[in-house]
Amino acid sequence: MTSHRFHVHLHVSDLEANLAFYSRLFGAAPSVRKDDYAKWMLEDPRLNFAISTGKSGASGIAHLGLQAETADALAAVGERLRSADAIGLAEAGTTCCYARSDKFWAQDPQGVLWETFHTHGDATTYYADPASDPVARDRCCGPSLAGIESPDAKAGAAAGSCKSSCSVPATEQVAGETAACCA
């Protein structure tokens, strides 16, 4: 059975204070450290914990997620989301949080944004569109919250209503023909 790593991403107003707090809490320095971002890859518990600044709005939980160890494991999670009619956006080869990844974004019935992803490389920028052009960041990776429909509201959503936070239309970010934005 393939294991996944749980993921938590927080938006913070003071990166340095949070670096000190979480480094003490986890008993380790972050594995990735940038001017606007830090990430701890912990084994006990198996957790990908990230913090970032630069987002407009309140500090707190940006999103939760599952990090798949393989592309096949991500596809399996994607199928479960698809069967629940929960995929709000599928991204292939996207750059986010200084990494290149394939992703499925969903929103649970409470409105919590979920990111499921498989990382396949590092990136030199926090965010870039799928053509690898760096773009201004107005929020963390993924779709704007207005672009993700809750499972109850999705039934009436118009095709193409998902919006990514980058400049490339969602229809050009879809990871293959079987995964569609707001499908």
pLDDT digits (tens, 9 = 90+) for 161-175: 334 444 444 444 444
Helix, strand, coil shares of the chain, percent, nearest 5, are: 20, 35, 45
pLDDT at 180 (0 to 100): 29
Nearest to 35 by CA among 23, 21, 51, 24: 51
Q: Does domain 4-172 have CATH number 3.10.180.10?
A: yes
Sequence-ordered list of residues with C-beta below 8 angstroms from that of 148, at least 6 positions apart, any chain:
88, 89, 105, 106, 107, 113, 162
Which pTM does this prediction carry? Answer: 0.68
pLDDT at 75 (0 to 100): 92
Each domain of the chain, given as residue ranges in start order, spans: 4-172
Q: Which two tokens stand for residue 114?
A: 């979920």
Q: Which two tokens stand for residue 73?
A: 């494991």
Tens-digit pLDDT profile for the chain (183 aa)? 567 999 999 999 999 999 999 999 999 999 999 999 999 999 999 999 999 997 666 789 989 999 999 999 999 999 999 888 888 888 888 877 777 889 999 988 888 899 998 988 777 776 665 555 554 444 455 555 444 444 444 433 333 333 444 444 444 444 433 332 222
pLDDT at 123 (0 to 100): 74
Distance, in Å, from the CA atom of 145 to the CA atom of 115, rounded to the nearest integer, reads 12
Alpha carbon of 30 to those of 20, 24, 53, 83, 115: distances in Å? Answer: 10, 11, 15, 36, 21
